[in-house]
Amino acid sequence: MLRATGSLFGLAYGDALGKPTEFLSVPEIVARYGHRGPQDLDGDPALVTDDTQMALAVAWALVDAQPTEGRPWSAATLEPPLRQRFLAWARSPQNNRAPGQTCLRACAALEDGYRWQRATVSGSKGCGPTCG
């Protein structure tokens, strides 16, 4: 668990560090921050993006579905908590960090009760066609 926590902290820190550059081009990033990019967190508290929020939803779903003796992780045990965590994220007032339309559409389909495979947005050029 400690290694997972450290990995998630690193993810969140890097995400928050890069957040101000999310919609900038490389020349714009270089002009604003130099060739090394941002070196300090912006804001107090520095905010993560929807990417970390969704990664945390996955992490919490894995905790929720933690294997027990005779009940290992499987699609059947992981899907319900993953759906619940993604829907909680989608409804959260903290979901105000420029989430992609593909993620939001997939979460809306999950909320409407579609099966995971049907909730996806096939053909999307976004990185969240399975709400993640």
Interacting residues toward Mg ion by CB under 5 A: 49-51
For the bound state, the minimum distance from the C-beta of residue 16 to Mg ion, rounded and expressed in Å, comes to 12
HEC letters along 29-90: HHHHHCCCCCCCCCECCECCCHHHHHHHHHHHHHHHCCCECCECCCHHHHHHHHHHHHHHHH
Q: Which is nearer to Mg ion, 82 or 103 (CB)?
A: 103
Residue 58, C-beta contacts closer than 8 angstroms, at least 6 positions apart? 82, 85, 132
Q: Which is nearer to Mg ion, 50 or 65 (CB)?
A: 50
For the bound state, the minimum distance from the C-beta of residue 98 to Mg ion, rounded and expressed in Å, comes to 6
Q: Which is nearer to Mg ion, 77 or 95 (CB)?
A: 95
For the bound state, the minimum distance from the C-beta of residue 74 to Mg ion, rounded and expressed in Å, comes to 29
For the bound state, the minimum distance from the C-beta of residue 45 to Mg ion, rounded and expressed in Å, comes to 18
Q: Which is nearer to Mg ion, 50 or 119 (CB)?
A: 50
- The distance in angstroms from the start CA to the end CA of the chain is 22
